[in-house]
Amino acid sequence: MDSHGQNEQQVVWAVVGTDIGPLLLAATREGLVNVVFHATDPVRDKALDRLASRLGSEPVEAPGSPLLAEPIRQVEAYFAGRRRDFELPLDWSLISGFNRQVLRELAAGVPYGSVVGYGDLAGRVGQPGAAQAVGVAMGSNPLPVVVPCHRVVESDGGIGGFGGGLETKRKLLALEGVLPEPLF
């Protein structure tokens, strides 16, 4: 409780090195709340400012926090090829409405090593004409990698867009065996 008798939201974060570059992981008591690609100092600082604004609490760097121990362990195991599914509590407070519905369906219904089209995913949530809205939901995903927006592709076989960059999407899909590893 803070000095006003309110339960203050605790937000802890750490940066983890991965094959796709540094990832910022942030968690609350509810679960993992944010994953940020390419977490260099300027990207990290902007993400932390955004988290503070959205959650009303200044994030604290705490790589040893119990709130981050399991997310860090599972992310490292995923990139080492020892984990296919994330089994983590997730804090969905940064996303709501249709976007949350789509991302929850993605997390539950598109397993490792598979892909789904934007339109197919729209149909799964009862909005068969909403492929573009699904694309917007993917772009607003606060939990990439863990909620696998990299598994959403164009229906014509194109890779589609990706907030972490197309090279990052290709690397994630190659890690999961969907695409061949680049030759160089």
> Catalytic site residues?
149
**In the chain, what is the straight-line distance between the N-terminal and C-terminal CA atoms, in Å?**
53
| Inter-residue contact 164 to 43 (CB < 8 Å) | no
Q: How many other CB atoms are found less than 10 A from the CB of residue 82?
A: 9
Q: How many other CB atoms are found less than 10 A from the CB of residue 93?
A: 16
Cα 41 from Cα 82, distance rounded (Å): 29
Cα 27 from Cα 21, distance rounded (Å): 19
